[in-house]
Structure 1
């Protein structure tokens, strides 16, 4: 996908544009594989000359990524508006299911960036006996700012985010765990979150 020169600022900054010529895209329900209605989130799939043939000497991995009809399943959560503009809303593996509600951490992260004392934030899901998963916000504070408490963060979110999207736990850190290539290690963050919360919460 790509935006066009004539697209307005909002579409150029908030979407990844429309599908390119000779390429197909669709947004499907991650479980059923059926195309979702416009505006609803689902997995972004693409098909065409730009899609790889597969992984070298890894047929099982290739079959996971590219289905029998030639659609590559990107693992990206996206939505498409009525004009064909695609917005990326997160990654399937990062999606949190809290009490039956699908929660997209990226949406919450983008809201929390509005807080004047937050320099960076990552939201993850941690196991919860009642809801299946609960939200934990890992936060890097701006220099000189006091650490945020769970209560203060919930007060900041109240009335602006749906109740099930408000992080229950806050963990203030100096840095996020990173891979050697500079990607945030959310799996490690989840493991640490479980350890910090301990049993019986």
Structure 2
């Protein structure tokens, strides 16, 4: 019985991953306004009923897509305690990951940009960006507490600046993949923040 339940869960997870990938492909190819549950089911090769069973609505599908594409974008962060090193690892890893942006991450960046004018997307990405900033604020606060970040650093301001920079680099990569060498950029941007946040020497 345990094996049967596990196999059923595996089938469900596989179907959900295929549906999300199909949704991401459609967003990249045609934009969010053309996205429908029917088109997702057709692209993924599943029935419309299964798509509705998994997500229920286009809004729920978009929310799941936003969460799935953002989660795990920079691997290994969960193993690090909050602080300066986790923050710098995030910056370095994020820009490095932009060097090979797959369809899921392309979809996330396109949806994020479109959220400025699409009312169905705005609440999703406000929540996603706030979660991103909250992690960064936690890192800055931990760094100021342990002395690895200078005490004048304002967590909210640093978080807004970093999110804006990283998302902006991502959008530039979408528009013009050759605009920046991400391997060089990741080093220079990470070093910039290392110096900017370093404790002030007496």
Answer yes or no: same fold by TM over 0.5.
no
- What is the TM-score with the length of structure 2 in the denominator? 0.29
Indicate the structure whose relative CO is greater, using CA pairs within 8 Å and at least 6 residues apart. 2
Query: Which structure: greater strand fraction?
Result: 1
Q: Which has the higher helix share?
A: 2
TM-score by length of 1: 0.29
